[in-house]
Amino acid sequence: MSILRKLFRASPTPTSDGAFSPSPLAIKLGTSSTTNYDGGDYDTRYKGDTSKVLMICTQERNMTMANGKKFSTGNHPVEMGLPMLHLINAGFEIDIVTPTGAPVAIEMWAMPNDDADVQKLYRDYADAFANPGSLAEFVANDMTDVAPYAAVYIPGGHGAMLGLPDNADVGKALHWAHNQGLYTLALCHGPAALLAAKDEDGFLYSGYKMTVFPDSVDKQTPMIGYLPGPMPWWVCEKLNALGAQIINKKADNSCHVDRRLITGASPQAANDFGRLAAITLLASSTAA
């Protein structure tokens, strides 16, 4: 097996901090230097009072796998970037926070380096990613009935499984968004953070249909060296156990709206998810 891994360049790549990023084969198969971003043109832009989207990002880099090896992860740059572009072009502002205000962890190995729109976005928001707001401070001070927000957004990347699903402030923010009638947006592994919305009254999203990165695909990716070992836990399995209904079987471009929850299945869904989110928020503001 080790000879075949070397032959096909399928061994995960060691990082300077003792973790592993995906193998050259996995990078070739699972990422692209460009995206399918459609340009983000909208006939009308939002001009109302609730113009902000609270984007909750992970600040944690390394995921310890079931075999003890660490995977170098964070938020996926395409899953985070394309929806940001759509929301911004539709007239919304993005407020970036992490649990404590530490820098956003980004899977730089998945950055589409030849995509001019994404590259410009990351240059424009470099300071915001390096110096985000604190979710803890937001929950303590800004979570009011008149806060100017239209949605809470949780981008994907395996890093969404780190420090968010068990964070009490994430749970409070999700309940606040639900109670205020805001939309919640979660892409790929982002729905892992929805697990934080479980309390003594149950799971906020029990009975909701959603699209999520399939556990079955996560179980296959170690074979090509995308992950350095089996996952420590399974997102869909945990969501299903709490009553969520995962409606996709593949890591495809499927998206879904259930009440005020918008989800997408994978990096392939990033553009469609971003457009769906923007159009839905625009339509909701017009109806209001």
User: Exactly one of 57, 188, 236, 255 is catalytic; which is it?
Assistant: 188
Helix (H, G, I), strand (E, B) or coil at 77: helix
Using the Cα atoms of residue 60, residue 220, residue 115 and residue 282 in order, give the sign of their dihedral: negative
Instruction: For residue 215, count other CB atoms closer than 10 A to its CB.
Output: 18
Output DSSP code: residue 195.
G
Name the token pair of 76: 């996926």
Give the integer Cα–Cα distance in Å for 90 and 110.
25
CA 9 to chain centre: 28
* Cβ atoms of residues 221 and 64 within 8 Å: no
Give 195's contacts (C-beta < 8 A, 6+ positions apart): 165, 166, 238, 239, 242
* Cβ atoms of residues 228 and 12 within 8 Å: yes
The answer to whether residue 236 is catalytic is no
Give the integer Cα–Cα distance in Å for 10 and 219.
16
Which residue type, as a one-letter code, is found at position 244? Answer: A
Alpha carbon separation from 59 to 70, 74, 127, 158, 233 (Å, rounded): 16, 7, 15, 12, 19
Alpha carbon separation from 161 to 91, 119, 126, 238, 239 (Å, rounded): 29, 25, 23, 12, 12
Total number of residues shown for the chain: 288
Tell me the catalytic residues: 188
